[in-house]
Chain A
Amino acid sequence: MNSKGFARRLRLLSTFKIAARALRRNKLRSALTALGIIIGVGAVIAMVSIGNGAKAQVEAQIAGLGENVILIFSGSTTASGIRTGWGGAGTLKIEDAEAIRREVPQVTLVSEEVVSTAQVAAGNQNWFTRIYGESADYFDLRQWALADGAPFTQQDVRSANKVCVVGRTTATQIYGSEDVIGQVLRVKNVPFQILGVLTPKGLSSQGTDQDDIVVMPYTSAMKRVLGGGTTLRNINAQVASSRDLAPAQQQIIALLRQRHNIREGRDDDFTVRNQEEIAAAATATTETMTALLAGVAVISLVVGGIGIMNIMLVSVTERTREIGTRMAVGAHGRDILTQFLIEAMTLSVIGGIIGIITGIVASKIIAILKNWSSLISPTSIILAFVVSAGVGVFFGFYPARKAAQLDPIDALRYE
């Protein structure tokens, strides 16, 4: 029994040798067959890497909003009657923000936010940029450190001082490489003193330059840039941990409904979203995209597999006499089956390995050319490899069985 098993193993070893010789005899055909798998696996790896890269980028940007942040927008997407959308109707008051700060214990940081665009100028340079009015908590809440200088203080907010912090882009556009700290920037012709420069953040996922910005106390913005008004576009609140997100959100909703005198059964006139919801929505989009890309790539892998089956079938017909000769000199049906299976598997595994390398290189090249990020996951590599080997067995089996079942007499006489 043991010696029989040993003999069988030796025979399998010979079959590997036979299959390797057969593949070497038809180098061009082998290469072209493997090409289908190379393209298939390469496409899977490249597409999944780019998809994962996009997902990671979106996740990083959402994390950039700050941790455990709750966003409260004025207006509601579900208000009955006239619907104004987020930030539309000015329903959020400064007092609402103060009430949240005072009455919701989980909330650690609150920033009142107003947003505008304005012409800013200094010397003979001017620039059109976004103006953000915020509280002094803003920089901690967004985890946005200053590259230089200092942020404005609560005192500045209280007194509506004419001070601001600028983004890198705005600073460069107005002052070039000059030091901007202490310079006077005119916003809608009101002079503001620049206290600091924010660290650059680059482009957002929507492609806007996040560094093209002027941040000032919201009180100053409302009084001097927006020209009066008492409503906020939104309130950003931060809670201590992600466990506090849901209860804090409930309390904020209850508090604001009460403050806005909204009766039972009526819709809110504000919208509350937490960061996790926003993150889930955004990553769902990129996940759909990744799945779509991978789907297209898997189709090309299947096409590659059919290519292998096609070539192996042609090869069985073309090599009928060879199969007959092998059987005449002592090959069993199983030897022929194994040989053809090994041939198919070798092609798909070699194709798979080259495909993995091609896919990695391709995703890197695309990432560089298109300025996208790519993230190669080991799972996708292992999966692509296993799938390509599986494709070899699956699509190689039918032709191999066909070859093994040939009658040696007919095969020898085949013209």
Chain B
Amino acid sequence: MSNSSDAAVRLDDVRKTYKTGEVEVQAVRGVSIEIGRGEFVALMGSSGSGKSTLMNIIGCLDRPTAGRYFLDGEDVSSLSRDDLADVRNRKLGFVFQNFNLLSRTSALENVELPLLYSEVALTGVQLREKAERVLASVGLEGRGDHTPSQLSGGQQQRVAIARALINDPEVILADEPTGNLDSRTSVEVMEIFQALNNKGITVIMVTHELDIASYARRNIVMKDGLVCDDIRVQNRFNATAELEKMTAGEALEVAV
């Protein structure tokens, strides 16, 4: 078995069992998947399908009860709490449904957050420069001093994406990233993800919206703790094109 395969994420018969008192709940019952570098995967399934548990394992927030998990070729299935934290810091970037930005804290300081916990210590100036550059790359140039309450939902999610990008992660993990956003802003976020993916960053996204899943390259559907469907996306949406269509539609509405 070659551990140094080209996969960004490789799961070997991963299982997760929760014990609630006497009752055992099997949330994930043996999942083996491989997600290559540069893929854009939408992880789907109804609630209780085990997709959140699987996402937590992939995100190194949780350890599998059985099976092995290789992230970027490294076996992370049995690492300690602190080692998992270091792996998350170095290799993963998180984007959440409710953004999880620190309130009353400027966008820049929010973006800097992962750097403060990383092994490489930067000076205040270096931190700021790096954060400003990443913020600019998600289209928030000059908004570094705004606090989350001064930003729209879409802008807040961009700050969160910038925070996920700051440590040059191997994989970006997005948990319902468009769940709290309107349709246009959702497409804008997808545009950022597609752009990042085109640059070679692996994106894994949990969603239950079919149209959002169509922006990914691959859809993995879970049911009862198992993968029930794993398909290449046909007729993939291009976010930039969709946004142009929306603008045109709005213009038409205004004209009428």
Contact = CB atoms under 8 A, between A and B. Distances in A.
A334 B88 CA distance: 16
B94 to A, nearest CB: 5
A334 B116 CA distance: 14
Residue from A18, A331, A335 with most neighbouring chain B CB atoms (10 Å): A331
B85 interface: yes
Given A25-B103, A321-B100, A333 B81 contact: yes
Contact of A328 (B81, B94, B101, B104): B94
Given A14-B116, A14-B117, A21-B109, A332 B102 contact: no
What class of interface size applies to chain B in its complex with A? 20 to 34
Given A25-B104, A409-B56, A328 B117 contact: no
Query: Which secondary structure dominates where chain A touches chain B?
Result: helix
Interface in A334-360: 334-335
Contacts of B96: 325, 412
Nearest to B166: A329
Given A21-B109, A408-B61, A409-B61, A330 B104 contact: no
B163 A329 contact: yes
A18 B56 CA distance: 26
Contact of B85 (A13, A325, A332): A332
A134 B131 CA distance: 89
Interface string B69-88: 00000000000011001101
A11 B82 CA distance: 14
Contacts of B32: none
A409 B89 CA distance: 16
A333 B81 CA distance: 8
Contacts of B62: 409
B102 A329 contact: no
B85 A327 contact: yes
A276 interface: no
Contacts of A327: 85
A396 B235 CA distance: 57
Contacts of B56: 409
Contacts of B121: 7, 10-11, 13-14
B105 A331 contact: no
B119 interface: yes
Interface string B44-79: 000000000000100101100000000000000000
A324 interface: yes
B114 interface: yes
26 contacts: A14-B116, A14-B117, A15-B116, A17-B116, A18-B116, A25-B105, A321-B100, A325-B100, A325-B113, A326-B113, A326-B117, A328-B59, A328-B61, A328-B88, A329-B88, A329-B94, A329-B113, A329-B163, A330-B88, A330-B89, A331-B117, A332-B86, A332-B117, A409-B56, A409-B61, A409-B62
Interface of B: 56, 59, 61-62, 81-82, 85-86, 88-90, 94, 96, 100-105, 109, 113-114, 116-119, 121, 163
Please provide the 7 A-B residue pairs with the shortest distance between their CB atoms, ordered closest to farther. A330-B89, A10-B121, A330-B117, A329-B114, A14-B116, A325-B100, A25-B104
Given A25-B103, A325-B101, 16 more contacts: A7-B119, A11-B117, A14-B116, A21-B109, A25-B102, A25-B104, A25-B105, A322-B102, A325-B96, A325-B113, A326-B113, A329-B113, A329-B117, A332-B82, A335-B117, A412-B61
